[in-house]
Every structure is written in C-alpha cells, then in structure tokens.
C-alpha cells in the first residue's frame, strides 16, 4: 500500500506530461499552419515577432529607452500578420487546421475526464479505496502485516478486474482518438475490441486479456516504427545520394580546373554528363517513391499512415524535388544548346581563320616570289652588265697585249 502511494506522484506526472506534450505538439502544428508567412528558415513571421515580444517584456529590458516603442511595433506586426492569415489559407490548410482543432478538443475532453486522476486528493482517495478494498477481500491483517487468505469474495475480485479493464479501455480509446498517425489504428482497434470483449468477465477475462494485450501493443509499436522507417529510408537515401553526387562533381571541378587540352576537357564534360544522369535517376526514384499515385502499395500505405501535416510536408518536398528536377532538365538542355552553339561558332571561326591564314600565306608567298623574281632579274641584269664589262676589259687587254707584242717585235728588230 505504501509503495503504491509513493507511486502516485509519478502516475500523476506521467498523465499530466502526456496531456501537455499532446497539447504542445498540436498547438505547434496549428501555429505553423495559422501563419503561412515565412520570415526566415522554418520560423514564421508571427513566431519571429512573438519571440521579440517575449524578449522585450523581460524585466531587465524595461529600462531601455526604445523598449516600449519596439514592443508596440512588434505587437502591431503580429496583429497585422494575424489579420491576414485567413486570406492566405488554401483548402488543404483549412482542412488541416480543422483536424488539429478537433484533436485539441479531444485532448481537452480527455484532460477533463482524467481530472479525477490528476488531482492529488482524488487520485490518492481513489487508490486508497481500491487498495483498502483489495486488502479486505484478500484477508490482510493490519496487526501482523500479513495476508490470511480469509474473507476473499470472488465477486469483489471480479469487479476489481472489470474496473481495471474498463480503465484500460478508456485510456486506449483516448489514445486512438488523439494520436495523429493512421498507422497502427487497426491494431489499436483490435486491442480495444479485445479489451471490450473481456469486459464484465471478471478475473478469468482479465487473465485472458493479459496474454494478448502486450503482444498487441508491441505489434502497434512495430507497425509505427516500420511505417516511419519506410518513409525515412526514402529521404535518407536521397540525402546520401545527393551527398555522394556533390562530392563527385566537386572532384571533377577540382581535378579539371586547369585542364589544358581538348582531351581533358572532353573527359570532364563526359564525367559531368554521367553525374547529371545519376542526378536525374536519383530524383526520379525519390519522387516516384513518394508519389502516392505511382509508388508501391507499401510506400503508399506508409505515407497515407502519416498525420495530415507531415503527409503534406512530404508531398511539398516531393513536388519541390520534381519541380527542381524539371528546372535542372530545362537548364541542362539550355546549357547544352548554348554549348553546341558556342562550339559551332568556334568551329566556324576556326574555319574562317584557316581560310584567312591560307589566303594571307598565299599572298605573302606570291609577293615573296615576285620580289625574288625581281631581285633575280636585277641580279641577272647586273651579271649581264658585268659580263659586258668583263668582255670589254678582255678586249682591251687583248688589244693591249697585241700592242705590247708589236712593240717587242719592233724593239727586237731595232736591236738586230
């Protein structure tokens, strides 16, 4: 009895924490949907200015000269944004908000229905009465602090077991109605039906129930985990593939940053095309796996089992990836067309340069040949002139020799 009473604060705390977490989670989702205007990152405009308001309302900031005016400005910004919320809601957002309001109302009713368990005195009185009754029909002796086994009334034990099962049925029903996941609902329904089937069946029904109840709860946990892992694996695989692809592309750009010949450039271009093909393949696989209209029945069920807000986020991611893939395809096509046009232009320019070079070379060669011919003709003229002059000198020399011979002959005659 003492141990049970010591456990009362823990039981109370667990119940209160469970209700508080459910309220906070649902309210957080509601806040995100109510303010669709993003300020930066995942923070909405209302959340951003709400944070500023809390900071400005701190006592240590009251002494600042412009704190009051800033606080009024922040509140005006929140009110202005809040007034514009409903104009920005689409049908999906309205439906999601209605679902969250419905769940918040269910949590509120659950909180009210469990007030007797969470209030200190009621919780204490309830368990004291239950334990006292149990001690009585089990034959508890307060003097010896032992059990005699006398006084056990079977019908009282049956009613106690029925009460416990009724309590479990109520708790399970509340879990079914407040959980945001669709996955495992059939299992929870089956467990709930099993509990209801054994209600009012006393101790025997209680024993039968607890042979199947742990297995049913474990099956529910497995279903939730498997469903979440199936969707998670699609996202994590995409993340891993993109990281590997980024590393490969970075390696291509680093290795070929100073490529100096056409062969290296061609190899780099081919490698980029291969990585681009991988990117398309990864994106197509990702979008197909998350598209409930085309994916496998297991993936479709896993996505449909998610709560409406998370399912909408997954769909937004899928649509974004699909849109970016389309943009990448169009951009790649445009870049390829521009590259082809640039290559054609360069080839045409090179051909034109070749023609101009050949024309220039031909002209220069012809000019050189003409100049050489002219020079040769000039040299030939000079050679011919030298020949003429040489012949004239030979003739003059011949005449001079003849004259010399005549003089010698005359001189010899005179000597004789």
pLDDT greater than 70 at residue 10: no
How many CA atoms lie within 13 Å of 408's alpha carbon, on the beta-carbon side?
Answer: 6
137-151, 249-263, 355-369: which range is least confident on average? Answer: 137-151
pLDDT greater than 60 at residue 119: no
Report the pLDDT averaged over residues 116-129. Answer: 54
Separation of CA 13 from chain center: 37
> What pLDDT, in 10s, does the model give residues 199-228?
777 667 777 777 777 777 777 777 777 777
Residue of higher predicted confidence among 142 and 229: 229
CA dist 73 → 38, 44, 45 (Å):
19, 17, 13
Q: Determine the pLDDT at residue 365.
A: 92
Residue 264 lies in a domain: yes
Quickly state the pLDDT bin for 42 (edges 50, 70, 90).
Answer: low
Query: 59 - beta bridge partners?
Result: none
Residue 270 lies in a domain: yes
Residue 384 lies in a domain: no
> What's the domain count of the chain?
1
pLDDT greater than 80 at residue 303: no
Instruction: Choose among 240, 199, 242, 192: nearest CA to 216.
Output: 192
Residue 286 lies in a domain: yes
Q: Determine the pLDDT at residue 326.
A: 82
For residue 100, count CB atoms less than 10 angstroms from its CB and return exposed for 0-12, middle for 13-18, buried for 19 or more: buried
45 touches 77 (CB < 8 A): yes
Task: Give every CB contact of residue 154 below 8 A, 6+ residues apart in sequence.
Answer: 202, 203
Residue 326 lies in a domain: yes
CA dist 2 → 12, 14, 131, 138, 145 (Å):
16, 19, 10, 17, 12
Residue 294 lies in a domain: yes
pLDDT greater than 60 at residue 122: no
Q: Determine the pLDDT at residue 126.
A: 54
Q: Determine the pLDDT at residue 142.
A: 65
Residue 152 lies in a domain: no
pLDDT greater than 80 at residue 358: yes
Euclidean distance between CA atoms 271 and 189, whole angstroms: 55
Residue 38 lies in a domain: no
Report the pLDDT averaged over residues 366-372. Answer: 91
Torsion sign across C-alpha atoms 131, 136, 141, 142: positive
Report the pLDDT averaged over residues 104-131. Answer: 60
Give the chain's mean pLDDT: 72
Overall size of the chain counted in residues: 416
Euclidean distance between CA atoms 318 and 90, whole angstroms: 19
User: In percent, how much of the chain has pLDDT > 90?
Assistant: 2
Q: Which of 45-49, 53-57, 143-147, 393-397 has the highest mean pLDDT?
A: 393-397
Q: Determine the pLDDT at residue 157.
A: 57
Report the pLDDT averaged over residues 100-128. Answer: 63
For 98-163, give the DSSP string. HHHHHHHHHHHHHHHHTHHHHSHHHHHHHHHHHHHHHHHHTTEETTTTEE--TT--HHHHHHHHHH
Q: Determine the pLDDT at residue 245.
A: 75
Report the pLDDT averaged over residues 339-366. Answer: 88
Quote the domain boundaries for residue 339: 230-347
């Amino acid at each position: 009895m003492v141990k049970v009473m010591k456990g009362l604060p823990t039981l109370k705390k667990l119940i209160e924490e469970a209700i508080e977490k459910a309220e906070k989670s649902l309210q957080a989702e509601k806040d995100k949907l109510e303010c669709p205007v993003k300020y930066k990152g995942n923070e909405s405009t209302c959340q951003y200015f709400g944070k500023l308001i809390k900071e400005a309302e701190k006592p240590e900031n009251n002494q600042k000269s412009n704190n009051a005016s800033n606080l009024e400005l922040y509140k005006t910004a929140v009110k202005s944004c809040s007034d514009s919320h409903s104009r920005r809601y689409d049908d999906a957002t309205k439906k999601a908000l209605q679902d969250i309001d419905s769940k918040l109302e269910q949590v509120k009713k659950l909180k009210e229905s469990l007030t007797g368990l969470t209030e200190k005195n009621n919780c204490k009185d309830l368990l004291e009465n239950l334990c006292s009754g149990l001690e009585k029909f089990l034959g508890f002796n307060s003097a010896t602090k032992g059990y005699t086994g006398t006084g056990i009334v079977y019908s009282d034990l049956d009613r106690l077991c029925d009460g416990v099962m009724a309590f479990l049925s109520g708790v399970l029903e509340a879990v079914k109605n407040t959980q945001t996941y669709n996955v495992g609902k059939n299992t929870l329904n089956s467990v709930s039906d099993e509990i209801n089937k054994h209600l009012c069946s006393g101790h025997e029904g209680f024993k039968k129930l607890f042979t199947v109840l742990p297995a049913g709860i474990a099956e529910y946990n497995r279903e939730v985990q498997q469903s979440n892992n199936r969707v998670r694996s699609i996202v994590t695989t995409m993340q891993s593939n993109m990281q590997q692809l980024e590393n490969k592309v970075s390696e291509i750009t680093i290795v070929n940053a100073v490529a100096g010949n056409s062969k290296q450039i061609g190899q780099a271009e081919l490698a980029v095309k291969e990585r681009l093909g991988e990117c398309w393949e990864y994106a197509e696989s990702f979008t197909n796996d998350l598209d409930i209209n085309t994916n496998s029945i297991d993936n479709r069920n896993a996505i449909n089992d998610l709560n409406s807000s998370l399912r909408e986020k997954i769909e937004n991611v899928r649509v974004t990836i699909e849109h970016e893939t389309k943009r990448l395809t169009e951009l790649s096509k445009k870049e390829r067309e521009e590259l082809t046009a640039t290559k054609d232009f360069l080839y045409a320019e090179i051909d034109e340069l070749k023609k101009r070079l050949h024309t220039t070379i031909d002209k220069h060669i012809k000019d050189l040949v003409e100049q050489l011919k002219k020079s040769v003709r000039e040299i030939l003229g000079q050679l011919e002139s030298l020949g003429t002059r040489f012949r004239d000198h030979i003739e003059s020399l011949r005449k001079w020799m003849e004259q010399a011979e005549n003089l010698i002959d005359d001189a010899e005659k005179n000597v004789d």
